[in-house]
Amino acid sequence: MATSYFLIAVFLALASSQAIASDPSPLQDFCVADKDSPVKVNGFVCKDPVHVTVDDFFKAAELDKPRNTKGKVGSNVTLINVMQLAGLNTLGISLARIDYAPLGENPPHTHPRATEILTVLEGTLYVGFVTSNPNNTLFTKVLHKGDVFVFPEGLIHFQFNPVHDKPAVALAALSSQNPGVITIANAVFGSKPSISDDILAKAFQVEKGTIDWLQAQFWENNHY
């Protein structure tokens, strides 16, 4: 009987930990990140409030200027997270400006720690996300200026500017101080060291030569 109670307690503990798995909730008004602290925690240690200033909550004019979109994928993501703005520590939110060249895209990627909500500031975007196995359902929508779309946490998603002669701009909020990003092509074909071409050839059901060619490409990072 004692063993049964123990197993039930363990199960409930695991279930509750999954239910609250997200950025840590603040236990005080703020916890400005002390990036110089040698102490390692999940996130950052709090700076002594005595030394906190208004500039810990401020970032000057980072998102008002168009970004360079001349790279291979034709997009540029400018992220403001806890690494750029120490006051975001424990607040569970970050922000990004995304610039798209004509026919540019923010390629399929995922944020392992955040839901994303995006609004179009200029132009048109074709956006979508794919649900998890086994259904892998694709949800897509064409967005225009002022439209809003949400990408659920952890799901693969993308944005594409379908207009050949006009750029687009979007603003995205993410539900983590450090949402992380995994660009699918970069992770699969550009990992260091490389994933075995035998593994990838079997996974994608193609010849190893195709995998070797893909791994030889330069997989650009469009997040800055």
Model confidence at 7, in pLDDT bands (50, 70, 90)?
very low
Contacts of 163 (CB under 8 A, 6+ apart): 102, 103, 123, 124
Annotated binding site: 106, 109, 111, 116, 157
Over the range 45-81, which residues count as b (16 or more CB within 10 Å of their CB) and which as e? bbbeeeebeeebeeeeeeeeeebebeeebbbbbbbbb
d(CA 26, CA 88): 11
* Angle of helix 197-204 versus helix 208-215 axis, rounded to 10: 110
Contacts of 97 (CB under 8 A, 6+ apart): 62, 63, 67, 77, 78, 169, 170, 171, 172
Q: What pLDDT was estimated at residue 42?
A: 85
Q: What pLDDT was estimated at residue 12?
A: 47
- Relative to beta strand 156-160, strand 138-143 is unpaired
Instruction: List the chain domain ranges.
Output: 25-180, 182-223
pTM for the predicted model, two decimal places: 0.86
Q: Class for domain 25-180, per CATH?
A: mainly beta
Annotated binding site for Mn(2+): 109, 111, 116, 157
Model confidence at 1, in pLDDT bands (50, 70, 90)?
low
Q: Each residue of 19-30: pLDDT tens digit?
A: 444 576 777 899
Q: What percent of the chain has pLDDT over 70?
A: 90
Annotated binding site for oxalate: 106, 111, 116
Q: Each residue of 151-160: pLDDT tens digit?
A: 999 999 999 9
pLDDT at 141 over 90: yes
